[in-house]
Amino acid sequence: MFMGEYHHTIDTKGRMIVPAKFRDGLGDSFVLTRGLDQCLFGYPMEEWKIIEEKLKTLPLTKKDARAFTRFFFSGAMELELDKQGRINIAAPLLQYAKLEKDCVVIGVSNRIELWSKQIWENYVVEQEESFEEIAENMIDFDI
């Protein structure tokens, strides 16, 4: 399980050190793709396979299903950690998430998320204001 918030930097070559606490869970290679809310999602290979199987069951005749699957898979790339625990993030993913230098890596149960520091800070402020309302709505999910 991934949890926590870590502040890191991305160098001019698109390399970032993955937080040490996340490396074992991600394994030697993992999948990074476009996520929601303008961040990147990182999945260990076994989690990625579960998501892949679920997305395969979406009906090809549904426009939203096709669009989501295209968007999600076309942005996906398998990454390997180098000896320093770094990954090299492709330019299209950096651009999508507006990742330049300062970034935040968070653990979200079965995945990690990479955020631009500024976008993350804005997101947290916006969500803090409605956290109680969100929590009330989650009761419907038996949480």
User: What domains are defined for the chain?
Assistant: 2-141 (3.40.1550.20)
Residue 37 has pLDDT above 90, yes or no: yes
Which pLDDT tens digit goes with each residue over 47-104? 999 999 999 999 999 999 999 999 999 999 999 999 999 999 999 999 999 999 999 9
Q: Taking 90 as the threshold, does the pLDDT of residue 15 lie above it?
A: yes
Q: Which residue has the tokens 């930097």?
A: 9
User: Which residues of the chain form beta strands (DSSP E)?
Assistant: 2-9, 15-17, 29-34, 40-44, 77-80, 86-88, 102-109, 111-116
Which pair of structure tokens corresponds to residue 125? 């402020």
Average pLDDT over all residues of the chain: 94
Question: What count of other Cβ atoms lies within 10 Å of the Cβ of residue 52?
Answer: 15
